[in-house]
Amino acid sequence: MTALRQAQGSGTPIQGVTLYSFTRAFHGHEYDLEALIRKVAADGYGPGLEVIGFSSFRGFPAIEDSFAGWFRDLVDEVGLVTTSLAVNADIGIHRDRLLNQDELIEYMRRQIVAAAKLGFPIARVQISITPDSMEQLAPIAEEHGVTLALEVHADQYASHPRILDLRDRYEKVGSPYLGFTMDWGATVSGFAPSLLEAYRRRGASDELLAKVVDLWDRYYAEGPPADQAEHGKRFGSFIGLAAQNGRPDLGIDFGINGTGLFGPARVDDWLEIMPWIRHVHGKFFGIDEHGEEPSVPVRDLIRLLVDNGYSGAISSEYEGWHWNHWQSPFEIVAAEQAVQRSAALNAGSRMITDAAQARSILNAHLAQPVRG
């Protein structure tokens, strides 16, 4: 049955993880880069491996040949497959001015070169890259064999005007090297219970937290913010709620998380850009006592991807580490990946967990394998 469905175009997403999920373990010197990569492989969070350049590689984007060789050998040895290198457009790197267009393109070019050198076929870029910049970067991406996948992240969402502008430009440019990274945080279905628990531990009353949930649920019912002005209004309302209830110190935190982490778009909103999705951040915040993600509709998202023939990588991106200091991120990632695998089976397909299969499927999914 699986083979039949595949023949009809069901997707077989590749399981994987971003090291961002383990930020506190790396930052806290529990694991260095090599130990963390070995753990990802040994514990079975791969085969897909995503890394943030400026988090994991000292001196990034300058990459010595010897370091690139060491990294690629390590990834091969442990049986992982490099998927996406997350890069940043540091437009505000100078205190007194923003980068001009030529500087920005050069800044991104160096990171694209680093991705190729390290063996990543995808570079995740962010919303600050405009349609004009993406068009200008397309030949650089092509030259180095790296697909640029712009991340659609809350407070944006697939049908947001800025994302549709990008999609329309991709269509006009026609380069197979331009696409999107789908971040599940844009389509969240509830305020994360583990964050409510963290606020409780900071002394927030149940009454206040019930109001926070009610406010978020109201925005969920209304749907995602139409524009930046509406987004700003919602942000302000979380700050106001905290102030009115005697906890002004929590206001900005409510606003940042309530609008920037928990995006209230519906799962089928992704259909607006589905053919251009080249990579996925399986963003999530926790696992409940039933072994399910209580605030991200992981099962619906996997079904959507399978039904629409997506056979790229999904990097499990655990973000609950911002506030959850009482549970192991490793166990939580393992539990979320079990949900993904179960959901893929329920959708009549499966997640790819074998490295050789993952490599060949990813090569077919992208414009061409990385040339290194």
Partner 1 sequence: MIPDRIIEQGTLTTDGPRTAVEVRLPWYRALPGSCISGAKLSVDGVAAPEESLRWRMNGREFRFDELVDETGEWWFPVDSAVLSGDLPLAPGDADHEVRVDLTLYIPYIIIGDDETLHIEEHDTKTMKAVAA
User: Which are the catalytic amino acids?
Assistant: 153
- Residue in the block written with tokens 């990813």: 362
Q: What contacts 24+ positions apart, CB below 8 Å, involve 54-61? A: 54/87, 54/88, 55/19, 55/20, 55/23, 55/26, 56/19, 56/26, 57/33, 57/114, 57/118, 60/111, 60/114, 61/87, 61/110, 61/111, 61/113, 61/114
262 binds partner 1 (CB under 8 A): no
Residue 37 and residue 74 in contact, taking contact as beta carbons nearer than 8 Å:
yes
Shortest distance (Å) from residue 3 CB to partner 1: 41
Among 68, 90, 109, 140, contact with partner 1 (rule: CB under 8 A) = 90
Q: Compute how many residues bind partner 1; rule: CB under 8 A.
A: 29
Shortest distance (Å) from residue 52 CB to partner 1: 6
Shortest distance (Å) from residue 356 CB to partner 1: 32
- Look at residues 184, 159, 372 and name the one whose alpha carbon lies nearest to residue 261: 184
Give me the residues paired with residue 125 across strands.
150
Length of the chain: 372
Nearer to partner 1 by Cβ, of 96 and 206: the residue is 96
203 binds partner 1 (CB under 8 A): no
Nearer to partner 1 by Cβ, of 128 and 360: the residue is 128
Among 4, 7, 8, 59, contact with partner 1 (rule: CB under 8 A) = 59
Among 41, 89, 273, 287, contact with partner 1 (rule: CB under 8 A) = 89
Among 9, 70, 94, 164, contact with partner 1 (rule: CB under 8 A) = 94
Shortest distance (Å) from residue 96 CB to partner 1: 8
Amino acid at 369: P
CA distance 244 to 248: 8
DSSP 49-77: EEEEHHHHSTTTT---HHHHHHHHHHHHH
Nearer to partner 1 by Cβ, of 180 and 270: the residue is 180
Look at residue 159 and give its three-state secondary structure: coil
Nearer to partner 1 by Cβ, of 103 and 272: the residue is 103
CA distance 9 to 343: 17
Q: Is residue 38 exposed (0-12), middle (13-18) or buried (19+ Cβ within 10 Å)?
A: middle
290 binds partner 1 (CB under 8 A): no
Amino acid at 69: G
Among 9, 44, 92, 246, contact with partner 1 (rule: CB under 8 A) = 92
Shortest distance (Å) from residue 329 CB to partner 1: 13
Binding mask 104-143 for partner 1 (x = CB under 8 A): ----------------------x-x---------------
CA distance 287 to 193: 9
What token pair was written down for 159?
Answer: 């049908």
Binding mask 17-56 for partner 1 (x = CB under 8 A): ---x--xx-xxxx--x-------------------x-xx-
Shortest distance (Å) from residue 364 CB to partner 1: 32
Shortest distance (Å) from residue 36 CB to partner 1: 11
What token pair was written down for 55?
Answer: 């988090």
308 binds partner 1 (CB under 8 A): no
Binding site for partner 1 (CB under 8 A): 20, 23-24, 26-29, 32, 52, 54-55, 58-60, 88-98, 126, 128, 322, 325
